[in-house]
Amino acid sequence: MTDSNRLLATIEAIYAASLDYHQWPVVLGCVADVFGDVGAVMLWRRDNETFGSVASPSLAAAQQDYIDGWGKQDIKAELCERSGLFFSGEPFTDRHIESTGVDFLNHPFTTQFLTKHGLGWFGGIAVSPDPHVGVMLSIQRNFKIKPRYSDYELETIGIIGRHIERSLRLSIRLLDAELANVGLGEALTRIGIGVFALDARGRVVFSNPAAQGHVGDTLTIIDNQLRIRASAVHEAFRDAVAHVLHGNIGNLETRPILLHSDETGRRVVIHLLPISAPVHLAENFLTKTRAIVLVIEQKIDEPADPAVVRDVLGLTLGEARVAAMVGAGLAPREAAHRLGIAEETARNVLKRVFGKTGVSRQSELTALLARLVLR
């Protein structure tokens, strides 16, 4: 396969995994194949301090060694966390931690663990859409065979990361502990976000109760076709659905669609996820599904969705997380505490947000978010 075909196949696999988390190891193998590298891993940590990892099959032995003790000596992960790279939402690699002055190349983690498993260089990006779950994608490369990741390769990692983030928006909910032992149908019934499943002709073949609660308000269904009541926004939604159903997911617009009901005051964000083929967890009732529409209601008393803030204001995901918290009225210290970062880091990020958005104080940022972003 050509590089572009590998990338498209990987993106298709990413969205298929949104409904079947058992597919993520295979997906990570596809991600590594895009670069011709050894493997890839997703590391996750919840705000309750539980953590874990999912790895491509090629990294199974390395993952076990990591779990058995080497994870506690992961100097690279420590340096990345110190440098704020796990938070930024921008792709990064080994050269971004060289300025720390730590000789990680001669650290036992490199000489004994990475070398043993034919690893060495990495390319990573934060991919979590959920403020309560931190997720990092890390692609592993044999440093004795290939050079470090180039800027061009990091751009590709950024593209892959954005698609993974969108897919995880649903996956993380389905992986929640209270849903872990129920079928997909029941999980989608109990999940707190609206889910519509569309077939190859854009017809609604499934909707959960949360989704049905939006019908007649911000959304309507006419001739089994999902429509947005605001005509101007509906055109963009219709075009996006057609784009996905025709298989053009490589250039899928990642910008969410924002809706506001003048009648009820409800404000929602719509995300569109393509599904390339049925997956086994969905065989009972989603066999015709080719796209998933997520409808997420924005509570007025909660911070804005960082993904929406990022896309509307042109920020990185890390900057958007700080902006959402501070824009909701939290002091930088409290925002830093909730995000699990140092107060100094939060203040430095806030300065960048001010510079990019053209505001100079917290009250102006709050007003800007109230005007442009759903809260």
Q: Worst-scoring range by mean pLDDT, 63-77, 140-154, 156-170, 188-202?
A: 188-202
According to DSSP, the residues that pair with 124 across neighbouring strands are 92, 138
The position carrying tokens 């806030």 is 350
Q: Work out the average pLDDT over 256-276.
A: 79
CA angle 136–99–82, rounded 5-degree value = 40
- Over 80: is that where the pLDDT of 295 sits? yes
H or E segment and range at residue 137: strand 133-142
Query: Which regions of the chain carry the CATH code 3.30.450.80?
Result: 3-175
Q: What is the pLDDT of residue 147?
A: 94
Q: What are the tens digits of pLDDT across the range 125-177? A: 998 877 777 789 999 999 989 999 999 999 999 999 989 988 888 877 776 64
Alpha-carbon distance of 42 to 53, in angstroms, equals: 6
Nearest partner of 300 among 268, 322, 326, judged by Cα: 268
Q: Work out the average pLDDT over 186-196.
A: 76
At 351, is the pLDDT very low, low, confident or very high (cuts 50, 70, 90)? very high
At 252, is the pLDDT very low, low, confident or very high (cuts 50, 70, 90)? low
1 or 237, which is more confident: 237
Q: What is the pLDDT of residue 276?
A: 62
Q: What is the pLDDT of residue 139?
A: 97
Query: Which regions of the chain carry the CATH code 3.30.450.20?
Result: 186-297
CATH number, span 306-372: 1.10.10.10
193 or 219, which is more confident: 219
Q: What are the tens digits of pLDDT across the range 85-128? A: 877 788 999 999 988 788 999 999 999 999 999 999 999 999 88
Query: Which regions of the chain carry the CATH code 1.10.10.10?
Result: 306-372
Q: Work out the average pLDDT over 339-357.
A: 89
Alpha-carbon distance of 313 to 205, in angstroms, equals: 35
Q: CATH classification of 186-297 is 3.30.450.20, yes or no?
A: yes
Q: What is the pLDDT of residue 99?
A: 82
Q: What is the pLDDT of residue 278?
A: 47
CATH number, span 3-175: 3.30.450.80
Longest dimension (CA), the chain: 65
The DSSP result for 333-350, as a single string, is HHHHHHHTS-HHHHHHHH
Q: What is the pLDDT of residue 285?
A: 39
Q: What is the pLDDT of residue 247?
A: 66
DSSP letter at 38 equals S
- Over 70: is that where the pLDDT of 281 sits? no
Alpha-carbon distance of 114 to 121, in angstroms, equals: 9
At 287, is the pLDDT very low, low, confident or very high (cuts 50, 70, 90)? very low
Amino acid letter for position 375: R
Please state whether 346 falls in left (phi above 0), alpha (psi between -120 and 50) or beta. Answer: alpha
Secondary structure of 264-311 as H, E, C letters: CCCEEEEEEEECCCCCHHHCCCCCCCCEEEEEEECCCCCCCCHHHHHH
At 8, is the pLDDT very low, low, confident or very high (cuts 50, 70, 90)? confident
232 or 228, which is more confident: 228
How many CA atoms are closer than 13 Å to the CA of 176, on its beta-carbon side? 14
SS3 120: strand
Distances 127 to 43, 115, 134, 172 between C-alpha atoms, Å: 10, 27, 8, 11
Rounded to the nearest 10 degrees, the angle between the axes of helix 24-35 and helix 151-174 is 170
At 190, is the pLDDT very low, low, confident or very high (cuts 50, 70, 90)? low
